[in-house]
């Protein structure tokens, strides 16, 4: 008897749930995956540990777009929430640095953490010596 009630409930409830879900698809989608807007992100470059800001660029990791930094600022057209990262310019392929990425916002400040990390200090000293 319990199995029969369960089967009848499924048979009657499933189409109702499907119709309600289908008719409210747009509202449900906007809650689960909200629309992200295109933005012009204006980025000020903070601490660079003594390295000139013109040696850096901003990279949108989701689209691959690379924008140079000039006079300590950069502007990149991106989508809100895309991952962006401060990187050494692609001109200097032999130089690599690992800086955490952040989500794009309209106004941001990106820079290096010039703490007591010995590996970072050695890297920065080699850059200063070469440039």
Three-state SS at 119: helix
Q: In the prediction, which pLDDT does 127 show?
A: 65
Question: Residues in the chain, how many?
Answer: 131
Higher-scoring residue by pLDDT: 116, 81: 81
Q: What are the sequence ranges of the domains in the chain?
A: 2-32, 38-130
Whether the pLDDT of residue 119 is over 70: the answer is no
Q: What is the pLDDT of residues 1-36, one digit of tens each?
A: 788 988 988 898 989 988 998 999 888 888 888 788
Architecture of domain 38-130: Sandwich (2.60)
Rounded Cα gap, residues 6 and 16, in angstroms? 16
Q: pTM of this prediction?
A: 0.64
């Amino acid at each position: 008897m319990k199995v029969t009630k369960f089967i009848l409930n499924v048979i009657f409830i499933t189409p109702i749930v499907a119709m309600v879900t289908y008719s409210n698809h747009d509202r449900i989608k906007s809650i689960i995956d909200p629309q992200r807007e295109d933005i012009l992100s204006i980025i000020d470059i903070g601490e660079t540990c003594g390295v000139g800001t013109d040696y850096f660029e901003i990279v949108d990791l989701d689209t691959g777009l690379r924008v140079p930094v000039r006079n300590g600022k950069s502007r990149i057209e991106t989508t809100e929430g895309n991952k962006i990262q401060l990187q050494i310019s692609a001109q200097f392929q032999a130089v690599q640095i690992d800086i955490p990425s952040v989500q794009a916002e309209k106004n941001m400040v990106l820079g290096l953490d010039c703490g007591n990390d010995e590996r970072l200090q050695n890297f920065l000293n080699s850059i200063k010596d070469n440039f």
